[in-house]
Amino acid sequence: MTAILSTVGAIFAYQAGSTQNDALLHKNEAAIRKTEASDQWNSYQAKSSRQNLAEPGATLASGDAAERFRKEVERWKAEKEDIRKAAAKLEAEGRAAGERSDAAMPVHHRWAKAMTLIQIAIPLAAITLLTRRRWLQHTAYGAGAAGLVLPVLALLHI
C-alpha cells in the first residue's frame, strides 16, 4: 500500500506543481498586460497634452500657422484614438489573464491537498505494519481515499 500511495503521491505532486505554474504564468501575463496598458495610457496623455497645446495655436494664429496647428490637432486626435483602442485591448487581455490565474489556483489547491492526504496516509500505512492496529489501518485507508477524491474534483474543476 505504501508503494502505491507513494506513486500516486508523486503524480499528485507533479499535478500540483503544474497547476501552480499555470496560475503564476497567467498572473505574470496579467501584470505584463497591465503595465503595457499603463504605458499606452501614458502615451495617450502625452498626445492629449500636445493636442491641448496646439488647439489654442489654431485659434490664435492666422494663415499658414493656424492651418499647421489645425493639422496637428487632427493628427493628435487620430493618434490618441489608436492608442486608446490599444490600451483598452491590453486592459482586457490583462483582466482575462488574471481570471485564468484565479481559476487555476483552486485546482492547484485541490491537487496540493490531495498530495498532503496521500503523504499522511503513507506513514500511517507504515506504522500500521509495525503496530498491527486495525484502527490505524482504517485511518490510513480513509486518508488515502480522501486523497483520491480531491483530484477528481480538481479534474472536474469543482
Residues 132-156: tens digit of each pLDDT: 888 988 998 888 888 888 888 888 8
Q: Return the pLDDT at 140.
A: 87
Q: How far apart are CA 53 and CA 59, in angstroms?
A: 11
State the pTM of this model: 0.72
Q: Which of 6-10, 24-28, 76-80, 149-153 has the highest mean predicted lDDT (pLDDT)?
A: 24-28
Query: What pLDDT was estimated at residue 25?
Result: 96
| Alpha-carbon gap, residue 120 to 115, rounded angstroms | 9
What was the pLDDT predicted at 83? Answer: 94
The answer to whether the beta carbons of residues 148 and 114 sit under 8 Å apart is yes
Distance, in Å, from the CA atom of 32 to the CA atom of 68, rounded to the nearest integer, reads 38
Q: With 80 as the cut, is the pLDDT of residue 157 above it? A: no
Average pLDDT over residues 58-76: 87
Q: Going by C-beta distance under 8 Å and a sequence separation of 6 or more, which residues neighbour residue 39?
A: none
Highest mean pLDDT pick, 35-49, 58-72, 139-153: 35-49
Smallest CA-to-CA distance from 10 within 141, 128, 119 is with 119
- Which pLDDT score, from 0 to 100, does residue 86 have? 94
pLDDT (0 to 100) of residue 43: 94
pLDDT at residue 97 above 90? yes
Q: What is the mean predicted confidence (pLDDT) over 14-24?
A: 93
CA dist., res. 41 & res. 158, Å (int): 38
Reported for 14-19, long-range contacts at CB under 8 A and 24+ positions apart, including other chains, are 15/111, 15/151, 15/154, 16/108, 16/111, 16/112, 16/114, 16/115, 19/104, 19/107, 19/108, 19/111, 19/154
Contact 87, 37 (CB under 8 A): yes
pLDDT for residue 102 is more than 90: yes
